[in-house]
Amino acid sequence: MSAAPQPASELCRVFEEDPDLAENIPSPLREQAVRECLARTVLVPTGRWQASETAPGRDGIGLLVLEGLLTRRVGVDGRFGAELLGVGDILRPWLGEDDPPALALATGWRVIEPLRMAVLDVQFARRVARYPHTTGRLVGRALERSRNLALNMAIVHQARVDVRLRMLFWQLARRWGRVRSGCVSLPLRLTHSVLADLVAARRPTVTTALSELARAELVRQVDDGWLLRGLPPRELLELVTVEPSLQHR
């Protein structure tokens, strides 16, 4: 059953909830920008989401994820890949949905953790236009998402699924990881099926690879997500710079 958004009735202060977007606004103007740049919010429960049919704000900037986690799944001939999105990402889920695809694509959105999103519609765009310092930040969010997709492509080209999984986990840890004593906690409840889409592999193969990683004490599933031990895999370090705090044990 598809997840239906609840009415977008509450207003939020976008720059208060996502201060990074306002970081380039000069200090004398920042408080005013926080007060003025309001946006409606929309809630989406867990499950499949018919985003292109129900998403509001089509003529504006897009939807800003304030809380929650979701995937966009794309497949050809029964083989699927996926993109993981969360807090801070800007979505335009209707983009390109009306264009005839060159391939017979199967696409879909799934909400993993309930979403709360700000609707950056035309009204918000008019308000934020008074503060052009935010433009770079908004464009940067889109470019960062593109960069993450390129990294995901590099990950899924690794021959071994256990290597793909370790690279994926440590790549996600750059954004969501929390350092604990002797390990890094990744508080994302990702099922084996979701992980299979993210690394472009079959679910049984992913389950086997996760068992091998657990026996090697490199990755372990816990109630609130995953624990990572050891160092990031060499293959990932060749692609990105991992925060020193995540590397040090």
CATH C-level class of 2-141: mainly beta
Question: What residue spans in the chain does CATH classification 1.10.10.10 cover?
Answer: 158-247
pLDDT digits (tens, 9 = 90+) for 134-149: 999 999 998 998 888 8
Q: How high is the pLDDT of residue 248?
A: 44
Structure tokens at 108: 């879909």
Q: pLDDT digit of tens for each residue in the chain (249 aa)? A: 556 555 556 899 999 999 999 999 999 999 999 999 999 999 999 999 987 666 666 788 999 999 999 999 886 666 677 899 999 999 988 875 555 555 545 678 999 999 999 999 999 999 999 999 999 999 999 899 888 888 888 899 999 999 999 999 999 999 999 998 889 999 999 999 999 999 999 999 999 999 999 999 999 999 999 999 988 888 787 776 655 556 544
pLDDT digits (tens, 9 = 90+) for 65-103: 999 999 998 866 666 778 999 999 999 888 755 555 555
Q: How high is the pLDDT of residue 76?
A: 66
Question: What residue spans in the chain does CATH classification 2.60.120 cover?
Answer: 2-141
Decide yes or no: CATH 2.40.110.10 for domain 158-247: no
How many Å apart are CA 104 and CA 126, to the nearest integer? 38
Name residue, tokens 């035309």: 122
Q: How high is the pLDDT of residue 99?
A: 52
Q: Amino acid identity of 144? A: E
Q: How high is the pLDDT of residue 95?
A: 73
- Contact indicator for 241, 169 with CB cutoff of 8 Å: no
How many Å apart are CA 161 and CA 217, to the nearest integer? 16
Question: What is the pairing mode between strands 11-13 and 62-76?
Answer: unpaired
Q: How high is the pLDDT of residue 171?
A: 93
SS3 category, 192: helix
Question: Assign residue 54 a region: left if phi > 0, alpha if psi is -120 to 50, beta otherwise?
Answer: alpha
Q: How high is the pLDDT of residue 244?
A: 55
